[in-house]
Chain A
């Protein structure tokens, strides 16, 4: 009886030492998890996930304080990528955080802008150019569509406009032709009604106000 205990204890000590040594000697320096998670997020810095930016959200996921389905701008793609990285099951976007919308950019109506710089201070990526009592304008290429500049504006001169697809940014929709993918079977070929999934992505109408200046013209992104 005693010999059995001693034998097992000795074995445990030997293996414990071996594992400890291996843990130190063969340690692999990898990317910390937070970096990996952050590289999958869309960097919109909008705060819809309830964290003040993408990096804090990444840190929260790494600590286990946040779920992977809280990012509306990232949408399904980001959820699947995070699920893949962390070895979890993907789940649908949490509706409490918002819904997945097409990419939008902010446009300042220069006729109304009073030059108060409140939006400049609000922008997390410094995409608004301007100074106090000088005209403000959004650098379209840098705008991430986070919506943070809209509430602070005292004269409500900022509009969020959807980016129209151009020939080089247009893409096909997901083909939904299988019976199990459709809620009700949509006839495809022999109808005169074009099937929605095969139709081109219709360019959405811009909602910019009529007085929008050149800065408001939809451009490439």
Chain B
């Protein structure tokens, strides 16, 4: 029995999980349109490989990875590409980003399977990682970091591989249902990941409010008949499923600040990622769908297997929510999810839950009813913080826009879990202040870099003007010098002389007799004679 450790703080929340786990997972209906954002991961967006008008088959690649910190995108079902344009994507800003939009044909025809049924043990860890990379798999726990990069061992040796089945946020049950229905695939995915990492130990963690999932996973581990997997129950408290808190609970070690778990020899993946890896490696299926919980003010709260790119409005409709009476739709859980501006945004690879709140409230999400009061320094936030920060100090300094002092209080160690906000008696939106502070500091850093470049350009601009001025002065000086010295004068004179000679010879050679003098009046003849005389006179004067 493994000894577990406590992490500081945390809050007890009402779980609300029973509503969506009463029935098995059902597939979501194939929507009329699928919207695939090119960026569904941390890193670079993918590059489209299809054009508007192309027909695509299920699981066909439609966008390639742009480098290593990027993953490809695959068509979730068969259809035709009708647009590649900016469309609203799920993000707190409500901004648009580049998406491939597919009109589905409802036939769901798959591409011919290219890869053979591989025995992954024949692959080297690098080849395995590349296969996972090309299957478009990212961290399905919500972060969206390309999974193949988290299976690399260049930074440090790996001692323990942890599979996160904790799922501590209320309402979210997709991982729980995945463990209940696909336990064997999850464990097989774990074994594949272990092969890539060459880790001696594996731990699957499950919160102790999921007894059925625990049972299934234990059976699956027994079936696989390996001795390096340990199934551990962790206490139900929010945020036990946070990567840093989970690692501390299970191993007692702390991830160094601004570092990664691999720095202490631990790698943590979500159970959904393990399942996706198993499907990709053993069945050649790239990531095109995932389990999602839809809960809240819907007729039937449910976990569905949803195609990536399905509009949220379709899901809400399928679960019996009324589009016309929506007041708030949250993508994610009630503690860390963000409110959507628009219900037509698509589900992306990192979506795990849709929470619906209706104006005709039957099961409303409890919401903050009060206005915020000033901070009374009660310290409840510091007691609740799982990272043992002082949220009240961060709040004071952020409000005063003293970002340096906020960083002194370790602002960037905040995991934005929301525990401090949840317990604050003054109902201050604490996490919002920290998000604002972090964003502002990043923006200031960006602007500082740009300002430094601008300063350099300006310095060079001044330098260039100086230089040009000097060069002009040099040229003027040379010219003046040329004018004042004698040799130059003589040379000049000779040049003038030569020019005059040339002109004269040209004149003498050419026919200088006037033309059209056949019918001249007497007066005209007289004028011509006078001009001729004058010319003779001058010519003789010249010579």
Residues of chain A touching chain B, judged by Cβ–Cβ distance below 8 Å, are 38, 41-45, 53-54, 76-77, 80, 84, 123-127, 142, 144, 165-167, 169-175, 177-180, 185, 188-190, 192, 198, 200-201, 203, 221
Contact = CB atoms under 8 A, between A and B. Distances in A.
B452 A43 contact: yes
B396 interface: no
The 7 closest A-B pairs by CB, nearest first: A171-B439, A125-B457, A43-B454, A200-B93, A43-B451, A200-B94, A175-B432
Interface centre among B92, B440, B457, B464 (most CB of A within 10 A): B457
Interface stretch (B142-150, B310-318, B367-375): B367-375
Interface stretch (B121-129, B442-450, B481-489, B509-517): B442-450
A171 B444 CA distance: 11
B450 A221 contact: yes
B94 A144 contact: no
A126 B461 CA distance: 6
A172 B436 contact: yes
Contacts of A80: 401-402
Given A43-B451, A77-B444, A185-B371, A175 B433 contact: yes
Interface string B450-474: 1111110110110010000000000
A70 to B, nearest CB: 17
Contact of A203 (B39, B95, B432): B95
Nearest to A123: B461
B366 to A, nearest CB: 10
A200 B341 contact: yes
23 contacts: A43-B458, A45-B458, A53-B458, A77-B401, A80-B401, A123-B461, A124-B458, A124-B461, A142-B453, A167-B89, A167-B91, A169-B443, A171-B436, A172-B92, A172-B432, A177-B371, A177-B432, A178-B371, A178-B372, A179-B373, A190-B369, A200-B93, A200-B95
B359 interface: yes
B531 to A, nearest CB: 44
Given A42-B447, A43-B454, A200-B94, A167 B39 contact: yes
A45 B454 contact: yes
Contacts of A42: 447, 451, 454
Contacts of B458: 43, 45, 53-54, 124-125
Contact of A43 (B428, B435, B439, B455): B455
B368 A189 contact: yes
Given A45-B458, A200-B94, A200-B341, A175 B429 contact: yes
Interface string B353-387: 00000010000000111011110000000000000
B327 interface: yes
Contacts of B95: 165-167, 170, 200, 203
Nearest to A90: B401
Contacts of B453: 142
Contacts of B464: 126
B97 interface: yes
A167 B367 CA distance: 28
B144 to A, nearest CB: 13
B368 A178 contact: no
Contacts of A192: 327, 359
A42 B452 CA distance: 8
A144 B454 CA distance: 7
B439 to A, nearest CB: 4
Interface centre among A169, A171, A190 (most CB of B within 10 A): A171
A110 B447 CA distance: 29
Contacts of B402: 80
Contacts of A179: 371-373
Contacts of A167: 39, 89, 91, 93, 95, 97
Contacts of B446: 169
